[in-house]
Amino acid sequence: MTDITMKKTILILLVGIFGFVSAQELVDVISPFYSYSQDAFHQNGTFDYTYPLRTSALSTGSPLSAAIGHATVASGQMIPEYTVNPANLALTKYSSIQAHGLFNNYNGVNANSLGGINYLMSVPVYTGSMSFSAGITKVRDHNLYYQNDDIVQRAKGGLYNWHFGGAMEMQEDIYVGAEVSLLTGNKNNDVDFLDPLSTVDGFIEDSKYFGVTAKVGLNYHVLPVLNIGISMDLPSVVDVDYSIRNYYTNGSGSLNYDVTSPAVYRAGLALTLRIVDLYYSYDYSNWQNLKFTSKEMLQTDIDEINRDITNNFGVVGSHHIGMALHVPLLPLHFYFGYQYMPDVYQGLNALSLGNLIPRELTDRFSSSFSWGASFFLKQGISITAAFETYHIFYDDELEKPKNVNLSLAYYF
């Protein structure tokens, strides 16, 4: 990894001189999909030192999903909106239009963006159920602000999912669904070196994303009060147009490369009672299957990055727990959720926390607490607010980025 990180140092120097880019790092490769951080080397003209190179990719989504910690694999008819399992669509018996905005705060810096616009349509059928959905949803938020004695880092942007999905009841009480998506987005990363002796004052990275992905899922309405769901996010292929430029420099270097994310397998259940609903989802993904390719890089550099992926990334198992509380006698619902999301860094994820891991390394996971409420203004029209607070440890400091999701929906 040292060789790779050294390349960025060289690259930054070269950009100012030749306007040329030739290498990427793990943090750049994984940044469209997952949060990651590593140390990078830098020179101040006298000696080398490391500075943190970070990327944030907080999961975002529809407001009710966010409120229950994205535990929507089996949520079925209880979360009638865009979820991680397309089979849930078929359990929704009516149509809806929903628009929501996303307000993010990371270490005091705010970013506002469109959260999504989604349309769900239930098709009249003689027996069974059939539904379709279309829309755009922000699935990753890259807003990040970090400062220490060496740097100030500001990042913004996000990844949007343009999706079209369909679902139907294949067997009685067994629903299957599929979804195809286009991924678009961008990320702007600004790193400012505070050291006055630094060889460069700072650099700005711009990344533009365009990709495709798909999902398939199944939801089994086992009992009137119980849903069991499984789904699979097929590997996402994202084309990245990357450019970098130094402060006070007109020239920039660019690079095009492709990143293929690993498949994500999800399983969960939902217990839907009259007053209280309980949700649970488990996500499994092997980030060693992340693939990096580029036609503009030397094959030896590509191989090195892929080796680094295998050597550093591992299996991630995330837990999502949610609860809904339907307030009696009022058109009001409360939602609560919790997420446990290990770092992709190998050996420090959920599967190895039971081992003897040095204490200073066990902070490589993040979690989030969330809650939300929905209120019906009148028949068929609801407003929803979801509040997520992440807990991320970095350099022994606790960060609490927050997402607020506000939604207006019409059900008809």
Partner 1 sequence: MKKIFLILISVVLLTGCYTTLYPPANMDMSVSQDIPDSARQVIVNNYYETTEYYQVPSYHRYSLLWGSYYWDPFYYDYSYYNWRPYYWYGTYYYYNPYSHYWYYYDPYYPWHSGGWTGGSSGNNGDKGRIHKPGYNVLMSSTSESAPFVSVGSNNNSGGISKPGKKIGIDLNSDVTNNNGYYSNPNIQSLGKKPATGTTSDDNLKKSGSTYKAPSNKKPASTVYKPQKQRSSSSSSSSAKSSKQANTKSSSSKNSRNESSSSSSKKSK
Most distant CA pair in the chain, distance? 77
Helical segments of 219-354, H only:
299-312
CB of 313 to partner 1, least distance (A): 18
Whose Cβ is closer to partner 1: residue 134's or residue 174's? Answer: 174
CB of 369 to partner 1, least distance (A): 21
Length in residues, the chain: 412
Cβ neighbours for 336, distance < 8 A, ≥ 6 positions apart:
67, 68, 322, 323, 324, 325, 370, 371
Whose Cβ is closer to partner 1: residue 178's or residue 244's? Answer: 178
Whose Cβ is closer to partner 1: residue 295's or residue 378's? Answer: 378
CB of 137 to partner 1, least distance (A): 19
CB of 407 to partner 1, least distance (A): 12
Cβ neighbours for 231, distance < 8 A, ≥ 6 positions apart:
73, 84, 85, 86, 87, 215, 216, 217, 218, 265, 266
Whose Cβ is closer to partner 1: residue 129's or residue 181's? Answer: 129
CB of 160 to partner 1, least distance (A): 25
CB of 49 to partner 1, least distance (A): 43
Listed as own residue / partner, the contacts of 268-271 with beta carbons closer than 8 Å and 24 or more positions apart are 268/71, 268/72, 268/73, 268/74, 268/228, 268/229, 268/230, 268/320, 269/74, 269/226, 269/227, 269/228, 269/229, 270/74, 270/75, 270/76, 270/78, 270/226, 270/227, 270/229, 271/225, 271/226
Q: Hunting for tokens 């837990």 — which residue is that? A: 319
For residue 401 the two structure tokens come to 């980025």
Residues that bind partner 1 (CB under 8 A): 64, 77-78, 80, 92-96, 122-130, 168-172, 174, 176, 216, 218, 224-225, 230, 232, 263, 265, 272-274, 284, 324, 326, 329-331, 333, 374, 376, 378-380, 382, 411-412
Whose Cβ is closer to partner 1: residue 108's or residue 224's? Answer: 224
Specify burial of residue 195 (Cβ count, 10 A radius: 0-12, 13-18, 19+): middle
CB of 126 to partner 1, least distance (A): 5
Whose Cβ is closer to partner 1: residue 247's or residue 284's? Answer: 284
**Taking a C-beta distance cutoff of 8 angstroms, is the pair 72, 339 a contact?**
no
- At 380, the amino acid letter reads G
154 vs 256: CA distance, rounded Å? 23
Whose Cβ is closer to partner 1: residue 78's or residue 404's? Answer: 78
CB of 83 to partner 1, least distance (A): 14
Whose Cβ is closer to partner 1: residue 55's or residue 98's? Answer: 98
